Chain A
Amino acid sequence: MSDQVRQVRIAMRNCGIIDPSNIMEYIARDGYEALGKSIFELTPENVIDIIKSSGLRGRGGAGFPTGTKWEFTGKSQGNKKYVICNADEGDPGAFMDRSILEGDPHSVLEAMAICGYAIGSNEGIIYIRAEYPGAVERLQEAIAKAEELGLLGDNIMGSSFSFRIRLYLGAGAFVCGEETSLMNSVQGRRGEPRIKPPFPAQKGLWNVPTNINNVETFANITQIILKGADWFRSFGNEDSPGTKVFALAGKVNNVGLIEIPMGTSLRDVVNKIGGGVSDNKEFKAIQTGGPSGGCIPAAHLDIPVDFKSLRELGSIMGSGGMIVMDESDCMVAVSKFFLEFTAEESCGKCTPCRIGNMRLLEILTRITEGNGTEGDLEELQRLGRTICDTSLCGLGQSSPNPVLSTLNHYMDEYIAHVRDKKCPSGTCTNLLTFIILDGKCTGCTLCKKVCPTSCISGERKEIHHIDQEHCIKCGACFDKCPFKAIIKK
């Protein structure tokens, strides 16, 4: 392993390799062998023990130990239990689950059946975003095919174990990624969360014990059953065994999905796998965890990617979105962007989230428009912490993270906005001044023609000038000038 960073494919081992619409290709790659092994060679307790000792943690964001969850649900009493696959991949900038469902649907179906066997459930539901029509179609096809071959449905492989899976389409609500909201949604209600406990393992969907795991979590299961817990633990680190799939996007040269052993450094992800920041610009931040996560600055790029390290920096693993930002991205504006998202997606049930996030957004808007004060920065901190501490569900408890983490790591940028009324990266238009440079302007008149308020003056072949009083800072002249004679500062 020289300069190349090792990518290891466990969850995505078949993606792009097999024809996902052909179940035979999946079977040829040991498909449904783990299910057979579970049913015929292992007891439900054995299966749970293997998953527990593998140390697999939930890949949906919070990182709860999967085996422990299965154990809880397994021990809950009930004639009926459900296995739910959470495929409500709502984090903007994340598309791991879609790729797994489209590229290797059977790996998730098989794992759900194994889970069903382990916890004593005969019914699985995949809650999937309606925004993913391709994945929906692929899954429907895959379920039908597996049932036809007796790998799902009644008496699987001739055993006494039966397991059926059906799909349930979401309807565009970010909060439904939260497990109690998701269950309310499946019951045909508004997707509002409820207080835990009782946990879904005790009282879940329709009040019966329910085990919910994320798509990527399930995608790891079959390999752990086949190759063992020790094999799985040979990847990653003590805190977080195994691999994690990330959707690397934003300002890097190579964008796309990556699957890396946990513990790989962020620097390797950005520079070696991502090929460095695009357009020769300077790295500013890497954002993980979507609207629930935070921005990590260059100074911390050497941390290992695992649940603990990211949390210590005020971010979270989240479901795996990783967005690289460069010097031209304003951290205040980025926080505002995420707050716009959470304020809109807040379900409105609890006050801290419904009203608190709106107040955070108002303060951030004020700051980006040049009307912020230094007191606003303290207020952001205080209010942010209160929202984290008092919100009902994971959405509210994590929604101030983008603000709190940027305040922590990029305080100078906030101060520039409130004290000097300047946006150092040149993003917040209200804080900008557009200026034509004497030495570069050729008097071509293009800027004058494109200016919507006609506030640029100057004769042909003479230096032009912007009347600052009437400039609306639309940036049209800046974009148009072929000589880069207009700067914003």
Chain B
Amino acid sequence: MANDSFSDGVFPEIDEFLDGIEDKNGALIPTLHKAQEAYGYLSKEVQHYIAQKLQISNAKVYGVATFYSLFSLEKRGRYRINVCMGTACYVRNAEKVLKEFAKELDIDVKQTTSDDLFTLDSVRCVGACGLAPVVMVNDKVYGRVGTADIKGIIKDTEEERCGR
């Protein structure tokens, strides 16, 4: 099956990244990381472009991109709210926290709000079990979160955005 054909330079960040690597063997996962960092998610075009550059099939790229949970094939919100569902958080009521976020944002888990601002998801242990239950908004960590704190976290995030 023929891959789509792209001319070089359509995704400059990917080119630049691959130019810096000597050994293209095993470069797929680091490249997907890079692409997601640059474009927010792995669109079909980005996947096909990477396949072409690494001279592997689209299917292989898709297979790897869908295998690992950190890769997203869909556009995500500007703020990704991740509720930790590790065991320590679970026994400290993380499930309730997740449900409360869903209710407050009026979306289901793994969905994005219509204004593209928030994506709600659960994550595996973030390794901050002493602070359980833990919520991460992008890279910011909130510990010992109760259902009462949720409005505040959302408001915090919105204010931070406006402050910028």
Contact = CB atoms under 8 A, between A and B. Distances in A.
Contacts of B139: 133
A157 to B, nearest CB: 27
A94 B33 contact: no
A130 B85 CA distance: 17
Contacts of A323: 87-88, 91
Interface stretch (B8-16, B24-32, B73-81, B106-114): B24-32
Interface residues of B, number: 33
Max count, chain B CB within 10 A of own CB: residue among A92, A186, A190, A338: A92
Interface in B1-44: 25-30, 32-33
Contacts of A133: 139
A190 B91 contact: no
B25 A256 contact: no
Given A171-B71, A188-B29, A287-B87, A95 B64 contact: no
Nearest to B66: A190
Contact of A250 (B64, B87, B128): B87
A132 interface: yes
B67 A173 contact: yes
Given A169-B30, A174-B124, A186-B26, A92 B68 contact: no
Interface residues of A, number: 44
B124 A92 contact: yes
A415 to B, nearest CB: 23
Given A185-B29, A186-B26, A249-B132, A131 B87 contact: no
Contacts of A347: 67
A172 interface: yes
A188 B124 contact: no
A91 B125 contact: yes
Interface in B82-98: 85-92
B65 to A, nearest CB: 9
B103 to A, nearest CB: 10
B64 A249 contact: no
B69 interface: yes
Contacts of B88: 92-93, 247, 249-250, 255, 323
A344 to B, nearest CB: 8
Interface string A444-463: 00000000000000000000
B87 A256 contact: no
Interface string A343-354: 000010000000
Interface in A89-135: 89-95, 98, 130-133
Contact of B129 (A131, A255, A287, A341): A255
A173 B68 contact: yes
B129 A95 contact: yes
A191 B66 CA distance: 11
A227 interface: no
Given A187-B25, A321-B87, A131 B67 contact: no
A312 B18 CA distance: 50
Contacts of B124: 90, 92, 131, 172, 174, 341
A329 interface: yes
A362 to B, nearest CB: 19
Interface in A150-174: 168-174
A290 interface: yes
A196 interface: no
Contact of B33 (A169, A174, A329): A169
Max count, chain A CB within 10 A of own CB: residue among B63, B127, B139: B127
A92 B125 contact: yes
Contacts, number: 108
A251 B132 CA distance: 10
B27 A190 contact: no
Contacts of A341: 124
Contacts of A172: 68-71, 124
Nearest to B131: A255
Contacts of B25: 187-188, 206
Contacts of A90: 124-125
A407 interface: no
B126 interface: yes
Contacts of A191: 67-68
A89 B125 CA distance: 9
A256 B30 CA distance: 32
Contacts of A188: 25-29, 64
Contacts of A321: 87, 129
B147 to A, nearest CB: 8
A250 B127 contact: no
B90 A171 contact: no
Contacts of B91: 250-251, 323, 325, 329, 334
Nearest to B139: A133
Given A169-B33, A186-B26, A190-B63, A131 B130 contact: no
A186 B64 CA distance: 12
Contacts of A334: 91
A189 interface: yes
B87 A92 contact: yes
Contact of B130 (A186, A206, A256): A256
A328 B27 CA distance: 48
A410 interface: no
Nearest to A325: B91
B127 A89 contact: yes
Nearest to B125: A92
B110 to A, nearest CB: 12
Contacts of B63: 190
24 contacts: A90-B124, A92-B86, A92-B125, A94-B125, A94-B127, A95-B128, A95-B129, A130-B33, A131-B123, A131-B126, A169-B30, A169-B33, A171-B69, A171-B70, A185-B29, A187-B26, A190-B64, A206-B25, A247-B129, A250-B87, A255-B88, A256-B130, A323-B91, A347-B67
Please list the 6 inter-chain residue pairs (A to B) with the smallest Cβ-Cβ separation, ordered nearest first: A92-B86, A171-B68, A95-B127, A249-B88, A172-B70, A93-B87
